[in-house]
Amino acid sequence: MYIKRYTIAAFIWIGFVGWYVYAYVTQNSMSIDLFGIPMPSLLTALWVIIPLVILYLASVGHITFYSVLGNFRLRKYEKDYEKLINAVIDAYIGKKGRSYTFKTDRYKLLGTLLENSTIFPVGDIIGKTNNEKIDAILKIIQDVKNGEVVDLKAYNLPSENVLVLQNERNRYKKGNIGAESVLSNCTKYDDSLCAEVYVDYVKEASLNAIEKYKGFLTKEALYVILSRINADKNTLKVENEALIELFKKLDLNKEDYIKISSILAKGGMIPEQRMKLFETLSDEDEDAMYAYLFTLFDLEMIAPADAILENSQADEYQNFKAYRALKECGKNFSIYLFV
């Protein structure tokens, strides 16, 4: 009930009662004692309306008190609603370390769920939420997915955040930042992005530049480097010692070594250098022996391959021994079928 309307109605009623008593009941005056204290003589009509006025004041005080309490409760709901909106936004952008204090039980449950959830928007709901903050973050997410560059500083997201990673990737792809800039300032970026940029960087970089940032070396980047050795385009000349140093940066297994030999075979590495490379590697890493045997058979260097197989254990290098046996029987198969 509105206080103003209630006041008008109350005073109309009080006035009507006072007028009725004065006009139709009595116009006399009277005096009463209140707790032994004599009160002044007043019209009877006034004595009638005085309790009504007191009742009005008490009711207004009652209404005001609970109205204030209701406003406080409403403000709690409004504040919790704003926190809930922020929790939804943080869930959309995958923000870590979220913590909200809700003062209402209903929002406390929803807030707890959102604090421990990540939400992925599905479909186009921008402009349909009737909330500017949510529409704004949905637009940002959509722009980043579409390859656009957006400003995320206001959200204080860490460099490893998925949205930040994609946004920086968009900046790189659009040419806003160069590969050299990313690699030389990689403390500002996530390691996974630096590794991706390094793969592109080694496609044309010099050997000195490749070695400068070899801390970001991955198998994918290594394969790109190897494909450039003595290639017709973006040629790279690398000594075996330099290659071995690069190999040491990675945890390579026998399949990796064989793939490396295969890439070098398709490229332009000189056969003698290729054999020497895997001979050296096999002395340091037993897994590299498989690639050394593969290289020898691929280059038709049968004698040194036979020497290795003859000195091996019966259960070692079974695939290469099978290949040698078939070859001795006059069967010509590709060595690639045995690795």
Domain count within the chain: 2
In a domain, 227, yes or no: no
What pLDDT, on a 0 to 100 scale, did the predictor assign at position 227?
A: 92
In a domain, 74, yes or no: yes
Report the percent of the chain where pLDDT is more than 70. 99
Q: Which two three-digit tokens encode residue 142?
A: 């959509």
In a domain, 176, yes or no: no
Distance CA 301, CA 288 (A): 17
Range(s) of the domain holding residue 73: 3-113
What pLDDT, on a 0 to 100 scale, did the predictor assign at position 272?
A: 93
In a domain, 210, yes or no: no
Angle at 157 between CA 152 and CA 161, to 5 degrees: 105
Last residue of a domain, one of 97, 113, 129: 113
In a domain, 199, yes or no: no
Last residue of a domain, one of 113, 129, 151: 113
What pLDDT, on a 0 to 100 scale, did the predictor assign at position 245?
A: 93
In a domain, 103, yes or no: yes
What pLDDT, on a 0 to 100 scale, did the predictor assign at position 226?
A: 94
In a domain, 41, yes or no: yes
What is the residue type of 214? K
In a domain, 132, yes or no: no
Last residue of a domain, one of 113, 147, 181: 113
Stretches in the chain below the pLDDT threshold 70: 1
